[in-house]
Amino acid sequence: MKADLAGGSASSSVMSEEIDKHVLRKYEIQQKLGKGAYGIVWKSVDKKTRDVVAVKKIFDAFQNATDAQRTFREIMFLQEVNNHENIVRLLNVLKAENDRDIYLIFEYMETDLHAVIRANILEDIHKQYIMYQLFKALKYMHSAELLHRDVKPSNLLLNSECQMKIADFGLARSLTNIADNKDSTPILTDYVATRWKVLRTPHSCNSGLISCFAGIEPLRFFWVLQDTHLESIHGQVVVSSENFLEESQFSLAPRP
């Protein structure tokens, strides 16, 4: 795992880079990979197995209902899909001594698609292989009625062999849970943590908009693949809008 740290509302007063002693007894910290509003990630080595891992410390993970749900979903969904070759593996979960922070231990991935696109080093064969792996991961999740809802290049992790693994399940939702709670408030909200200029699929929009596309399954499935592939080709965001309907009109419009 690389530093896939979404922006958010965590208080700066609790964003400590100090690592708990019981974590340091298990993992040898080598390098800080990145820091965001939700947490910090270090490249580390498991002292027992000598495997290279990524230690992600989530700041004040349970300070409010939204952050607690995001953390809970990420852990629970990752545990359910932990054996797929194109989904990042969650290896361990450790609580912090302050009972506010939490540590997630992931397999280590060297970079992400966003960084590789910016470096302009992808050949056509690489782009095809990455998209093929993304197809496999999404097909696997969708077959279990699990929607990721935040697929974007920075959440597609890569290693030196061009293996792709999708990460960051904090915004994921289970359609099975929705079906089991028909009388409850819809949970497919319009909220996206990294909302500014994010390519949002219909999955990340509210339930009313999703229902409009209920009979257009290919659109729901291929939306994010189209935009991710276009960004990998052109090296920049191709479709970017604050309005879902405007995005859908652009996406469905005939191409010259």
Length of the chain: 256
Exposed / middle / buried, residue 196 (Cβ in 10 Å: 0-12, 13-18, 19+): exposed
Q: In angstroms, rounded to a whole number, what is the distance separating the alpha carbons of residues 168 and 104? A: 11
Going by the DSSP 8-state scheme, the letter that residue 87 receives in this structure is B
Q: In angstroms, rounded to a whole number, what is the distance separating the alpha carbons of residues 118 and 15? A: 29
Instruction: Please say whether the beta carbons of 206 and 188 come within 8 A.
Output: yes
190 annotated active-site: no
Residue 205 token pair: 């929009």
Backbone angles phi, psi at 53, to 5 degrees: -135, 170
Q: Which of 4, 67, 112, 150 is catalytic?
A: 150
User: Side-chain half-sphere of 242: how many Cα atoms within 13 Å?
Assistant: 1
Q: In angstroms, rounded to a whole number, what is the distance separating the alpha carbons of residues 21 and 158? A: 30
Instruction: Please say whether the beta carbons of 107 and 53 come within 8 A.
Output: yes
Q: Which of 101, 100, 105 shows the shortest CA–CA distance to 75?
A: 105
User: Which residues on adjacent β-strands are paired with residue 95?
Assistant: 102
* Residues with active-site annotation: 150
